[in-house]
Amino acid sequence: MVVPAREAGFPAALYTSSSRRIGLQDYLTRAFAVAIRQVAKGDRGMGKSGLIQIDGCGQEVLERTAMRIDAAGNVEARFVMGLPARGRTILGQQAEAMFFEEVPAIVSRALCYRNLPRQSVQQHVEAVEDQDHLRAHLRERGLVAFLGNGAILPRRSGVDDRPLVGGRGTVVVPFHSPPSLAVTLNVPNAGPITGMGIPEGITLIVGGGFHGKSTLLRAIERGVYNHIPGDGREWVVTIPEAVKIRAEDGRRIEKVNISPFIQSLPFGKDTTSFSTDNASGSTSQAANIMEALEMGSRLLLIDEDTSATNFMIRDRRMQRLVQKEKEPITPFLDKVKQIYQDLGVSTILVMGGSGDYFDVADYVLMMDSYEARDVTEQARAVMAEFPSQRQPEGGAHFGEISPRVPAAESFDSRRGRREVKIDAKGLHTIVYGTTTIDLSYLEQLVDPSQTRAIGASIYYACTRYMDGKRSLPEILRQVMADIDQAGLDVLTPIKVGNLARPRPFEIAGAINRMRTLRIR
């Protein structure tokens, strides 16, 4: 449904830039969903009869196909309706009420500027613009992430991403920067914002259990997205090229050069082009890092809780017992500095169990009852008092990153009589032809509509750009350029309202986890 600009009436200042346009579209999508709940009667007939529904939104602000506003100010909403029916019979009077009473009322409430709270609209649009501005200017300040003072980082639960609220014995501690890392950044609308800037390099997050280490890292990993006003993380931003890394037992790996981390496997198995249908914790984590670097990541985010222990550390005692020539794994401890020095890729690492990482850290943050403290100097004093005495095993340089060329025949979308069968099953599963892709460990994937767009992106990339010559990064750069130019509609032959923009890292992550993938 299209509402002409003269009827919608939105001031051009609300959608003149990409940031503002996406912010306004997001606000209108949420307003439309609220209006549906207020107006639509639903519960008519059987099954989905009487349903009116628009693509749902979470705490993040994403570019979606559900709502569009063009340069002239025309507003297009894409939503679904279930005609009221009983068996095979359409209930005419109820359908008439839906089309001529409910939908017009919803549109009037949600898509006409005169009927919306203007201050709320303005605040939403400006918040998105300010977050984009912060993120775009991190690198010129030598930062990889920024957390504004007063941010609320804890979430209500593992399945409820809204901010934690106090009461009934729950204490919510707003984030506040240690003085040594405090920086002030200016944004177009809110003005100066003060908070903690995390510099480029290697940053450790330490502290006791349940003191907020993983909560801080979780906020940083979600900082690649903008958040709605009131989320608590509006001023938590991270460079767009940040990738969360973890171990992933059992995943498939196809011709990934993991030799910077793993060499000389038993029986002469090649690690410069390593393949397996059932990766171990260490080989999967090595592959995840190499795939992220292949795609151009500039920041690795790692939590020891979800890492393979033997991949992360080999202490002095183990070095003495198991000689290096008998150990194919070079621990991340001996490579993390080289990743930064050779490639310019930073790392933020939650580490509560091994002080050996003090030797390679540029900054050490301690979380103490959800309060951040800069303990870099204390960590250096501990290093001087208790030298680790372990022998570095990483060599002089990090090693090679080998771009890979996917074979188009790996991506067969046919299923039975259907030429193309691609479907998303919730947030973590894509059915691509007869292949099921498990995305459970892509922790920066936040919306099922992104998952649907990833499936569509794979098919689009396969049919347009997989020619047996282009590498995976080249292919996905072209896909993202097409989306930048023509919007998400470029991915599908017909206009749909249930796609949200994914990052190229998650598209590559899905491709790399396809058990049919073949690399030339």
pLDDT of residue 257 exceeding 70, the answer is yes
DSSP 3-state of 366: strand
The tally of CA atoms less than 13 A away on the side-chain side of residue 109 is: 18
* Tokens 């279930």, residue located: 82
Strands 79-81 and 85-86 come out as: unpaired
Residue 460 makes CB contacts below 8 A (sequence gap 6+) with 479, 482, 490, 491
Structure tokens at 425: 């099953």
The pLDDT value given to residue 483: 98
pTM: 0.96
Confidence band of 86 (pLDDT split at 50, 70, 90): confident
Please state, in angstroms and rounded to a whole number, the distance separating the CA atoms of residues 160 and 152. Answer: 14
The pLDDT value given to residue 417: 76
Residue-wise pLDDT tens digits, 344-353: 999 999 999 9
User: What DSSP state is assigned to residue 205?
Assistant: E
Cβ 95 vs Cβ 25: under 8 Å? no
Mean pLDDT of 438-464: 98
Count, in order, helices (H) and strands (E) of the chain: 14, 26
Please state, in angstroms and rounded to a whole number, the distance separating the CA atoms of residues 95 and 91. Answer: 6
Degrees to nearest 5, angle at CA 202 with 197 and 207: 80
pLDDT of residue 33 exceeding 60, the answer is yes
Confidence band of 382 (pLDDT split at 50, 70, 90): very high
Confidence band of 85 (pLDDT split at 50, 70, 90): confident
Please state, in angstroms and rounded to a whole number, the distance separating the CA atoms of residues 251 and 277. Answer: 7
Confidence band of 46 (pLDDT split at 50, 70, 90): low
The pLDDT value given to residue 262: 97
Cβ 204 vs Cβ 398: under 8 Å? no
E strand spans, 433-520? 435-438
Please state, in angstroms and rounded to a whole number, the distance separating the CA atoms of residues 441 and 457. Answer: 19
Mean pLDDT of 48-66: 93
